[in-house]
Amino acid sequence: MLERVKQWLRDVYVGEIKQSLHLTPDHVAVIQDGNRRYARERGLDPSDGHAHGAETTEEMLRWCTEFDITEVTLYTFSTENFARPEEELTELFDLIEDRLYSFADADLVHDNEVSIHGLGEIKRLPDRVGEAVTYAEQRTYQYDTLKLNIALAYGGRNELLRTAQQLTQEVADGDLDPEAITADLIGETLYRRPVQDVDLVIRTGGDERTSNFLPWHASGNEAAVYFCTPYWPEFSKVEFARAVRTYEAREQSWQETQLRRALSLVHAVKHTEYQPRTQLIQRLRDQLTRETATRFVDSVQTDTETTPADGDTKQAHPVSND
Contact 109, 116 (CB under 8 A): yes
**Which helix (DSSP H) or strand (DSSP E) does residue 77 occupy?**
strand 71-78
| 150 secondary structure, DSSP code | E
Enzyme catalytic residues? 33, 81
For residue 262, the number of C-alpha atoms closer than 13 Å in the C-beta half-sphere is: 27
- What residue spans of the chain are helical by DSSP H? 2-20, 35-41, 46-66, 86-105, 107-111, 127-140, 156-172, 183-190, 237-268, 274-286, 290-306
Displacement of CA 129 from its chain's centroid (Å): 25
Which amino acid type is present at position 312?
Answer: D
Q: How many CB atoms lie within 10 A of CB 87?
A: 11
